[in-house]
Chains A and B, each alone.
Chain A
Amino acid sequence: MSDTISVTVKVWRQNGPDSPGGFETHPQQISIDASFLEMLDLLNEQLNDRGEEPIVFESDCREGICGTCGVMINGRAHGPQKATATCQLHMREFADGDEIVIEPFRAAGFPVIRDLAVDRSPLDHIIESGGYISVGSGAAPDANLTPVPKDAAEQAFDAAACIGCGACVAACPNSAAQLFTSAKVGHMALLPQGQPERWSRTEAMVDVMETYFGSCTNHGECHEACPKEISLDFIAYLNRDYVRAKVKNRALSGQR
């Protein structure tokens, strides 16, 4: 237990959105039982002791569920371990002597705030444009009034598991947010409760997505990076629904 490794951390420092950035190099001795973020905590402690400003990085739950953390580690969003958010990564995934390059999520839609922190608020704007089922508090019927086939509920859950971390965007060569958007659209389109607004929701969310993010060309890097392994099938589902939504919404507008 508690073996220690020596690594060289090359970390991106940038004072603000418009400041130039660059790498800083720090040798680190670290126990393999430490989490990756604890390694950064320790580094920050050392920087602070030396009178240098700590590295800004974000995290909250540190158990892979809130979606707050997320950096590029050796060029990969959330690092080397599959289905693992940055906060769940442990130093035993690295070897003695490794160089670890840490950068912020890089995407046109995610401007750098400082060091490793980026602004992912466009993901909220996509939700705001329609990622909900319109039911006011108190207006809901009894929960068991509408049975939902177990399979449908499970599939909806597979999509709803998205933590909104944005790794899919960072991993995509086009900075597309298709996986994130398809997860939300898929979650609701698979449930009976989501049907009434299905077509308006799909069109609105895709349209807002396109104002912030690039276009999907089916690279599949998003799925590889996704800590929740959201399936690429949801993107296919989204694309199909979007086309149908376009047709339906046009037909509906003719009836207004």
Chain B
Amino acid sequence: MEPGTTPQPNPTVLDSKVPDGPIADLWENHKFSMNLVNPSNKRKFEVIVVGTGLAGASAAATLGELGYRVKAFTFHDSPRRAHSIAAQGGINAAKNYPNDGDSVHRLFYDTVKGGDYRSREANVHRLAEVSVNIIDQATAQGVPFARDYGGLLDNRSFGGAQVSRTFYARGQTGQQLLLGAYSALMRQVAAGTVELHNRSELLDVVLKDGRACGIVTRDLLSGEVTPHSAHAVVLATGGYGNVYFLSTNAMMCNVTAAWRAHRRGALFANPCYTQIHPTCIPASDDFQSKLTLMSESLRNDGRIWVPSGAGDGRAAGDIPEGERDYYLERKYPAFGNLVPRDVASRNAKTVVDAGHGVGPLNNGVFLDFAAAIERDGHDAIATRYGNLFDMYQRITGENPYTSPMRIYPASHYTMGGLWVDYHLMTNVPGLYAVGEANFSDHGANRLGASALMQGLADGYFVLPYTIGDDLAGLLGDSVVPTDDPVFTAAVAGVEDETGRWLSTNGSRSVDHFHRELGRIVWDNIGMARTESGLRKALSDIPALRDEFHRDVRVLGSADTLNQSLEKAGRVADFFDLAELMARDALEREESCGGHFREEHQTAEGEAQRDDDNFSHVAAWEWNGPDTPQTRHVEELTFDNVALSQRSYK
């Protein structure tokens, strides 16, 4: 390790608890070897599920159906609003309905490769296996997937996959899948197996003798801080893409639940693995609040270019063909505009940084449909992309049929998250993490249409089995009473914190600091990272954090709906996370997937992995505020997929 980076007290090698055996039979055999809780005993167990997006709603509904007593929490006003609702493109499954050569093994292989060989083989294989059940489940719930004229389900190829394995529901796949999971959840609420707590925010995870025994929440309407106990706690609280401030994530997405668990001992894995999506509408001004994703499918027909000359201020139509640089087609003749997300994003950054950016703020590249319209006609393009073109026009006021779209990469998804073992349990016994909140299956880069698959796999088909194995050993144990000192101390801690924000009496809003933090993270821990940039982030972030804690202004009181107060705690956690992202990125002296260190690239400018030294998961342990965290590792072995260098030339 480099001098001067991290003191590392007692780093350990983590045990993923993956059972032995041939990979194709692991999960099947393991299901048989796990302990079961018999049906009449399930009601003796209480389980807390925090988050009701795809992962949480599916988990809570399924656990309720099985007979566990479930308490589900969301800070939204309804489970139906979770960020999952915004997913557009689709969900992968190895159904092989099109008969084009897909299989569980191929989906497994593609996911491991797409993740640039930084994920755990056993988990990914299980994901590919249960993917087929998800489509059955969702269809039975009434999810209106696209169908062909024979009435059977339709598939498309997505994100450069060589087979058509993506199921979709217009451009609203996430919405329809979430409404399915939400309806299953509401059925259990009606049945009395799930107790639903809307507008309740988790602000602490509570441990007793090293085991998770409950949580502390704040009611966002009344401000009441309440302890809740259970035999197990499941976090399904989504990703942390909003650490960049500007992202395609919904406004309320944040890291707080995972981070509070981290502060109580749960390891946080691979925080530097973030995905920057290439096709988003560029920011239009300083007041921009979030960025909008334009579907990746647009790259099937749109050609990406910038003016060849730097600083060319002319309108697209005035730039002659000979003065345009179709840089992806030029650099990657084989894949052209369809190179993977990370490659497309990085190249956009390179040309914009070199002064070729377009638009009023010079912060975009063109995505041009002129050739496609000329080839296929206006109507064909309108049928394919009409909705997206309308959406673009509504936001920018520009007509993409007559002038090219402007796009630029934006933070979209986070592969890092709470470290979990094969059972989806964190290193804290009794504490689980599912969906985007865990680090699990996507390695250093997630393939399109695989997040919905993972969230629902975890919730419907994995956690409900694995949690029983752990709970079976607790039969007869009652939950820790909520007047136990561990709970009263946690409640007091949360109340102290809210009090502190309200009495800081500074001068700047929470959003102001979030925006400034986002700039630092975007500039230094974004699409391309360097040692000097990361070191700069490591000095800028704590400095801004100090200012934040000294100078933030949160008005109003704690006993009412107070959105600034809610945000203050979330942004505080983003500060700590951002610092850890920089540390993680600095210590990972290689490039892989979404983590691109400029010092580590091939002669052609592609990500250069260092499998000898970094074929592992980095999982960080919290050692208290202002104290460097400890970097633990889980070694990754690839027995079923041969490691290779990705190439898209």
Contacts and interface: CB of A to CB of B under 8 A. Distances in A.
Interface string B415-451: 0000000000000000000000000000000000000
B389 interface: no
10 contacts: A33-B284, A34-B285, A49-B509, A56-B561, A124-B198, A128-B189, A135-B141, A140-B139, A140-B140, A150-B151
A60 B183 contact: no
A1 B285 CA distance: 11
Interface in A34-93: 34-35, 37-38, 41-42, 44-45, 48-49, 51-54, 56, 58-63, 65-68, 84, 88, 90, 92
A53 B556 CA distance: 6
B34 to A, nearest CB: 15
A127 B464 contact: no
Interface in A109-135: 113-114, 117, 119-121, 123-124, 127-135
B289 interface: yes
Interface stretch (A186-194, A214-222, A248-256): A186-194
A74 to B, nearest CB: 19
Interface stretch (A99-107, A154-162, A170-178, A239-247): A154-162
Contact of B151 (A59, A147, A164): A147
B137 interface: yes
A121 B172 CA distance: 23
Of B65, B136, B508, the most chain A CB neighbours within 10 A belong to B136
A35 B251 CA distance: 14
Nearest to B559: A16
A240 to B, nearest CB: 20
Contact of A119 (B77, B145, B186, B292): B77
Contacts of B86: 61, 63, 65-66
Interface of A: 1-2, 15-16, 31-35, 37-38, 41-42, 44-45, 48-49, 51-54, 56, 58-63, 65-68, 84, 88, 90, 92, 113-114, 117, 119-121, 123-124, 127-144, 147-150, 153-154, 156-157, 160-161, 163-164, 187-188, 191, 193-194
A83 B512 CA distance: 32
A166 to B, nearest CB: 10
B140 A131 contact: no
A238 to B, nearest CB: 16
Nearest to A129: B190
Nearest to B61: A137
Given A65-B85, A137-B464, A160 B144 contact: yes
A117 B561 contact: yes
Interface string B376-394: 0000000000000001001
B80 interface: yes
A162 to B, nearest CB: 9
A137 B62 contact: yes
A160 B251 contact: no
Given A41-B289, A113-B221, A150-B147, A67 B81 contact: yes
Contacts of B530: none
A96 B284 CA distance: 20
A48 B186 contact: no
Contacts of B560: 15-16, 114
A38 B147 contact: no
Given A45-B509, A48-B509, A121-B198, A34 B190 contact: no
B187 A134 contact: yes
A54 B186 contact: no
Contacts of B555: 48, 51-54
Interface residues of B, number: 81
B78 A60 contact: no
Contacts of A48: 509, 553, 555, 564
Q: Which 6 A-B pairs have the closest CB atoms?
A: A147-B151, A132-B183, A140-B140, A143-B139, A140-B136, A137-B62
A137 B77 contact: no
Contacts of B561: 56, 113-114, 117
Interface string B197-209: 0100000000000
A130 B285 CA distance: 45
A62 B139 contact: no
Contact of A123 (B78, B189, B394, B395): B78
B142 A193 contact: yes
Interface stretch (B40-48, B174-182, B350-358, B362-370): B174-182
Interface in B333-373: 360
Nearest to A32: B397
A31 to B, nearest CB: 6
Contacts of A160: 142, 144, 176, 179
B77 A135 contact: no
B492 interface: no
Contact of A140 (B137, B152, B251, B290): B137
Contacts of A32: 397
Contacts of A1: 360
Nearest to A57: B563
Contacts of B141: 132-133, 135, 140, 193
A169 B397 CA distance: 30
Contacts of B179: 160
A15 B135 CA distance: 46
Contacts of B152: 144, 147
B149 interface: yes
Contacts of B65: 136-137
A32 B395 CA distance: 10
A62 B289 contact: yes
B287 A41 contact: yes
B397 A147 contact: no
Contacts of A31: 284-285, 287
Given A44-B509, A132-B186, 11 more contacts: A33-B397, A66-B82, A67-B80, A132-B184, A135-B141, A143-B135, A143-B136, A148-B147, A149-B151, A160-B144, A193-B141
